[in-house]
Amino acid sequence: MTRKLFLPLFLLFSLFSAALRAETITIASGAGYKRPLMEITSKYEQKTGGHIDAVFGNMQQIISQAQMSGNVSIIFGDKSFFDQSAISFANYYPVGQGKLVLAWRKGLHVKRITDISDKRIARVGIPDEKKAIYGRVAAEYLEKSGLSGAVKGKLLVVSTVPQVSAYLVSGEIDAGFINITDAIGIQENIGGYLVADQSRYTPIHIQAGVVKGFEGRAEIREFLQFLQERESIAILHHYGL
């Protein structure tokens, strides 16, 4: 009798576990947008009871992970990275316009971005332009501003925006190029930041790209709808998007 009861219960548990897994959304994003997305996904989970697994890194990393795993349903990042990838997207949803900023450590006073050419600024952090959106546009900005030569020997290249931010907070670098979203998140722990002239780099269109094959899932549609609701938009605006 015990054996007869065990099999149905086991099957019921297996089906229940599978149902839970089916409702999980896996998203991937450029690391510079971790703060707003974690706040949004937390509110989504509280409101709906759904579950989101989030992965963050430079765009090269998350595109590769999405390709290898096959489990990532939504990717947040610059549209240009999507267009260069081998991933097929079903559709795109605008999230906001990215902005490049120069931030600096506490104890330092910077009036203009051109101040990075001064001797008092010895190390300038920048994300890797081959892997991260803000590394690419920072390099473009330096070139168009005529600052590339003046800072060439000062640049410390790292993988992601949050790595630059961490070095700024610890004081290991004097200044660094990051996105406004991360700058807002660490503003209490740095000296300040200046928004770079947007005419001197290619516009950054942050989108939520739905990976082809996932667009029909009800929980994906539900999350995308939540992304457009007032509380999500308020979080995005707070972080400069």
Residue 208 CA to residue 29 CA, distance in Å, equals 9
d(C-alpha 207, C-alpha 196), whole Å: 21
Nearest-angstrom CA–CA distance, 67 and 85: 9
Residue 123 tokens, joined = 């190390």
How many domains does the structure of the chain reveal?
A: 2
Q: Which of 192, 188, 170 is nearest to 178 (CA)?
A: 192
Same domain? 93 vs 104: no
CA geometry: angle at 33 spanning 32 and 39, to 5°? 140
93 and 104 in a common domain: no
Domain span including residue 115: 100-200
Same domain as 63, residue 27: yes
Write out pLDDT tens, residues 79-111. 888 888 889 999 999 999 999 999 999 999 999
* pTM of the entire predicted model: 0.82
CB count within 10 Å of CB 65 equals 16
Structure-token pair, residue 190: 């740095």
* Amino acid found at 32: G
The answer on 93 and 21 residing in a single domain is yes
Residues 6 or more apart whose CB falls under 8 angstroms from that of 10 comprise none
Residue 72 and residue 45 share a domain:
yes
Asked whether the beta carbons of 107 and 190 are under 8 A apart, the reply is no
Q: What is the pLDDT of residue 145?
A: 96
Q: What is the pLDDT of residues 7-48, one digit of tens each?
A: 344 333 433 343 444 478 999 998 889 999 999 999 999 999
Are 121 and 170 in the same domain? yes
Is there a single domain that holds both residue 219 and residue 193?
Answer: no
- Do 137 and 150 reside in the same domain of the chain? yes
Q: What pLDDT was estimated at residue 83?
A: 87
Shared-domain flag, residues 93 and 208: yes
Instruction: Indicate the pLDDT class of residue 115, thresholds 50, 70 and 90.
Output: very high
128 and 70, same domain (yes or no): no
Q: Is there a single domain that holds both residue 124 and residue 36? A: no
Same domain, 76 and 110: no
User: Percent of the chain having pLDDT more than 70?
Assistant: 91
Lowest mean pLDDT: which of 83-87, 148-152, 198-202? 83-87
Rounded CA-CA distance 189/172 in Å is: 13
Locate 35 and state its tokens. 């703060």
CATH of the domain at 191: 3.40.190.10
CA angle 96, 237, 142 (to 5 degrees): 55
Sheet holding 175-179, edge to edge: 155-158, 124-127, 175-179, 100-104, 192-195
